Amino acid sequence: MSRYFKIEISKPAKKSLEKIPHPWKLRIKDAVDALKGTPYVGEKMWGKLSGKRKIRVWPYRIVYTICKKEKTIKVLRIAHRQGAYK
């Protein structure tokens, strides 16, 4: 049984990733890949975003959810910190 989670990136997250400048794009991809082995590293979110988690790759945020049964991580949003939670 694999201990690693499968990563699924939503279409809006893929689209926003394409627009991000190159040095940060690589850091974001590395951070998402690291979630495969340690999905609970991100901070829990609260309020209207409860049930989701976030990780910071300054100045960007990656918002994701974890599906334990399916062993998948769904990346919902990758955005600049100013508009990541709107």
pLDDT in tens, 22-61: 999 999 999 999 999 999 999 999 999 999 999 999 999 9
For position 35, what pLDDT does the model report? Answer: 95
Q: Is residue 1 part of a domain?
A: no
Q: Is residue 12 part of a domain?
A: yes
Tell me which residue range forms the domain holding 47: 6-80
Whether the pLDDT of residue 2 is over 70: the answer is no
Q: Average model confidence (pLDDT) for the chain?
A: 93
Number of domains in the chain: 1
CATH number for position 12: 3.30.2310.20
Contact (CB, 8 A) for 51 and 44 = no
How far is residue 20 from each of residues 13, 16, 29, 76, 78, measured CA to CA in Å? 11, 7, 11, 16, 9
For position 1, what pLDDT does the model report? Answer: 42
Contact (CB, 8 A) for 32 and 7 = yes
Residue 3's pLDDT band (boundaries 50, 70, 90)? confident
Segments in 1-86 forming alpha helices (H): 11-19, 22-34
Whether the pLDDT of residue 18 is over 90: the answer is yes
Residue type, 29: K
Residue 86's pLDDT band (boundaries 50, 70, 90)? confident
